[in-house]
Amino acid sequence: MSSSKEGLSAELKSITVEEQQLRVTANVPRSYQAVLAGAVDGSSWTATLTQGPLSCPVTFQRSSDLERKTLPIAPVAQTRPIWSWITVGEMIFRHYGVLGPKDTPGFSTQCNIVRALFKGSESFQCSTQCVLCESMRAGTVHDVAGMLTDFPRRLAASGRQTPRIFAAATPALEAREVMREIDQGNPIVVGLSSGAPDAPSEGLERFFPPMHAALVVGYLKTAKATWYLVFDPFPFSDPVTNPYMQQAAAPVFGLRQGASVPVGYWIRESALKSGMKWTESFLLRSEPVPPPPGSLIQ
């Protein structure tokens, strides 16, 4: 954060969003940590600036050249080391209504996705005992697209009313394409190589498919830069080695198991592409739930 006045600058530490409340903390050299917190109402942010024992009210007005949109998607953490693609699928299925409130977030739902995908295959033992599924990585774009499209169909085949999902693989997108998808209510799956638990060595990632999956659920565009809100399911526990923090991303905090941890990151478009090695994407579409057999269509 900075000001046109000389000497008024601070290193951004974190951003927390809770419904209509926005809280920003920053480290100020040779002084107390600064905190801005308050309610967001349209283009206005009425906050209280607190720095040590001092505080004062402030009002911010959104710049006219700023565009921002986030989708109502809740972040979910992966429960197995290489289940990022399964966990991204869970977030997508909840967003489009394939999964509902009765489907418990976390391991049980991720396990059910694995069971549905691999039942009847050579990996049937894995589908019956999900603790054996740690080796079930998404090796190709067909694996990810198959998971996103097949799981809703398998639920429908079991008699559950569920919308259909369509997924199309594409290279990394330009900002205008990302904004178009988010504006239409569709998150974007991004395939990353940097930060994966077993990412290839620097320079070799171009010879391999992406090793990790995350979900872009929002954007913030200004005259100078475009930022994306990324929900990454991997629980990076060490801020020193966290690849998003290494790319100067601003973490979004949430509660997991009673602790405040990063659940998402605002990251510049250039950093997501070059630093996090975003090379592949999946565009998503949802088809409404078909009416039950014998119903009267009006």
For residue 130, report the phi and psi dihedrals to the nearest 5 degrees. -65, -20
Residues 107, 87: Cα–Cα separation, whole Å: 9
**What's the pLDDT score for residue 6?**
47
* 68-287 CATH, one of 3.90.70, 2.60.40, 2.30.30, 3.30.70: 3.90.70
Question: What are φ and ψ of residue 102, in 5° steps?
Answer: -75, -15
Mean pLDDT per segment of 10 residues, for the chain of length 298 residues? 48 69 78 83 84 86 80 92 90 96 89 80 63 60 88 89 93 96 97 64 52 94 92 89 93 81 93 93 87 55
The tally of CA atoms less than 13 A away on the side-chain side of residue 154 is 16
**What does the pLDDT read at residue 26?**
81
pLDDT at 253: 86
* Cα–Cα distance, 184 to 176 (Å, whole number): 12
The predicted structure's pLDDT at residue 137: 56
Residue 20 CA to residue 151 CA, distance in Å, equals 34
Classify the C-alpha dihedral 237-243-245-249 as positive or negative. Answer: negative
Interatomic CA distance for residues 16 and 262, integer angstroms: 9
Q: What is the pLDDT of residue 204?
A: 45
227 SS3 class: strand
Coil vs helix vs strand at 56 = strand
Would you list the domain boundaries of the chain? 11-62, 68-287
What pTM was computed for the model? Answer: 0.75
Is residue 191 within a helix (H) or strand (E), and if so which, with residue range? Answer: strand 188-192
Position 293 scores a pLDDT of 58
> Would you tell me the crossing angle of helices 84-96 and 141-157 to the nearest 10 degrees?
50
Instruction: Look up residue 99 and give its two tokens.
Output: 């999964």
Q: How far apart are CA 84 and CA 205, in angstroms?
A: 18
